[in-house]
Amino acid sequence: MEDNEKIRLLEDELVELKFILQDLKDKESAYKELLSEIKNTIKEIMDFEMDNERFNLEAEIDYKSCINNLNKYLTEYRRLYKLKF
């Protein structure tokens, strides 16, 4: 095998690895965004619950609905970003 051929093969491998790395970075970013969204939603629910108790609002939170909506959101997010979890 000639040096030029070896160099070409290594360059091809390098390009392929760059694409793989970019894909992994994109997926990492998607996971971080997803976790941030979930964290913010939980904080909103907890803040609402605290205000509810503090001001005796007697407003009920439908946790079952929250869980169902979270499940739908996760399913759609996985489909959209082609994530596996």
pLDDT digits (tens, 9 = 90+) for 22-52: 999 999 999 999 999 999 999 999 999 999 9
For the chain, the domain total comes to 1
pLDDT on residue 56? 92
pLDDT on residue 1? 77
* % of the chain surpassing 70 pLDDT: 100
Confidence at 85, pLDDT banded by 50, 70, 90: confident
The Cα–Cα gap between 79 and 84 comes to 9
The Cα–Cα gap between 61 and 54 comes to 15
The Cα–Cα gap between 36 and 40 comes to 6
When pLDDT is averaged across residues 10-25 and rounded to a whole number, the result is 97
State which residues form the domain around 70.
Answer: 3-81
The Cα–Cα gap between 65 and 59 comes to 15
